[in-house]
Structure 1
């Protein structure tokens, strides 16, 4: 009987400790998620990733991330690469206790981006290279016995209305248009992706679109610069005034239009 009482007492103590642990996790879940995002983001991008706050509402199936900033790699002078005031996440509450957390939607609207060119590289191409290098690390299979082994599947992702600035060594600063990025069906709902794998796919999609926009803008700037240089050279060679040059351009345009 004494042994039975001792065993029951130990079981009660274990349940109390377990209950306290669950309460602590729930009370500190926002901070745990915040730390995971900062650690995973910094490892993937090769630069500092910081987040002001995380507000989780598991009952409503939502999360709001505020003040997410991806710093520039070393050697770049702008304040940051990305600054996202608000990231909205909608999830399936029924999946919270399952092996794969199903995210229904991740929406990022009105983010700010600084694209900076140094020589033949940009801050975005450097971060993209870091992300791709980090993605070469193979992820272990899911362990259903490990409650900390979180797997994610994302149904819809949108990154829209981005305010972007391009800073170049040769051409100075200008506004940059970055197309909206929309992706669907990221991760198998049955097996999911690790947080690092999901973050890598989202970062790569956004960075690739932004880097393509930078390349197009730089090519257009170079084209305009070459055109201006050729025009200046012709003007000097023919010893024309600005007014004469404008008149000659107008005459040529009328000629080719058939006026």
Structure 2
């Protein structure tokens, strides 16, 4: 009897070691996926210092997620996120549609930089728009040889359904040229930001998640620091957000129109499109 108990204990210990080993192997894989996905989506180097995978809890921890500034800008990073906690439904982790009830990001630092060549956020927004544009698939298909054209699609990764993203302890720095080479830095503390129902029922690719995060952060800078920003930079930020929002709305309207057209016919789809455009006009008036 004692021998059986010892064998059972030894088996359990070996099983725990095996499971632990699998999850230890998962951690560098998570780092690679986050870095590759971010770099592809944003067009700048994305780095993650470390990742933790909860064996039983379904909680992922990400430490030191840093998004580089585009070339030609001085600050070392565009966006820094200190600690990120991600709750995942483990049963969906290996599927094409990953369900994430909550993401908590704390210790966020955003650097908005403008120099003689333009602004860093416009470079990143333009890259994001190029990924979601109608011709992005065609461009991917034409680039490179030996199947390289399929790489952007594979890098896009699974669809993500995120119930809630919370950003806390957010700071931002606005770095602008004043006269000649003289620079001015404006620190702005931002309030907590909550994003809900990202991805809807179908899910969203990682570039859409990054897009939403950056869009919300830039909008928070406009709201919290509008009276501290140079007028031309404020106008540029507002114009960039409006243009970016219109691109995203047009994209979602096209998808919705296709679905409605399949079930209710072209007339109903047209009504949906008019309603969406009307909503954008109201937003612009505000």
Task: Give the Cα–Cα distance (whole angstroms) in 2 for the partners of residues 220 and 200 of structure 1.
Answer: 24
CA shift in 2, pair 1:56/1:117, >3 Å: same
Aligned to 2:120: 123
1:63 aligns with one of 60, 63, 66: 60
Q: Which one has a bigger Cα radius of gyration?
A: 1
Deviation at 1:184, TM superposition (A): 0.6
For residues 1-259 of structure 1, the aligned pairs below 5 Å read 26-96=23-93, 99-119=96-116, 121-136=118-133, 137=136, 150-170=158-178, 172-189=184-201, 191-210=202-221, 217-219=228-230
SS at structure 2 position matched to 1:124: helix
Task: Give the Cα–Cα distance (whole angstroms) in 2 for the partners of residues 218 and 48 of structure 1.
Answer: 28
Task: Give the Cα–Cα distance (whole angstroms) in 1 for the partners of residues 76 and 63 of structure 2.
Answer: 18
Q: Which runs of 5+ in 2 are unaligned?
A: 1-18, 138-155, 235-286
Q: TM-score, normalised by structure 1?
A: 0.63
Q: Which runs of 5+ in 1 are unaligned?
A: 1-21, 139-147, 224-259
Task: Give the Cα–Cα distance (whole angstroms) in 1 for the partners of residues 157 and 184 of structure 2.
Answer: 47
Q: What is the aligned length?
A: 194
Tell me the C-alpha RMSD between the 2 structures: 3.4
CA shift in 2, pair 1:131/1:179, >3 Å: farther
Task: Give the Cα–Cα distance (whole angstroms) in 1 for the partners of residues 216 and 172 of structure 2.
Answer: 16
CA shift in 2, pair 1:179/1:42, >3 Å: same
User: Per residue, is there more helix in 1 or in 2?
Assistant: 2
CA shift in 2, pair 1:213/1:120, >3 Å: farther
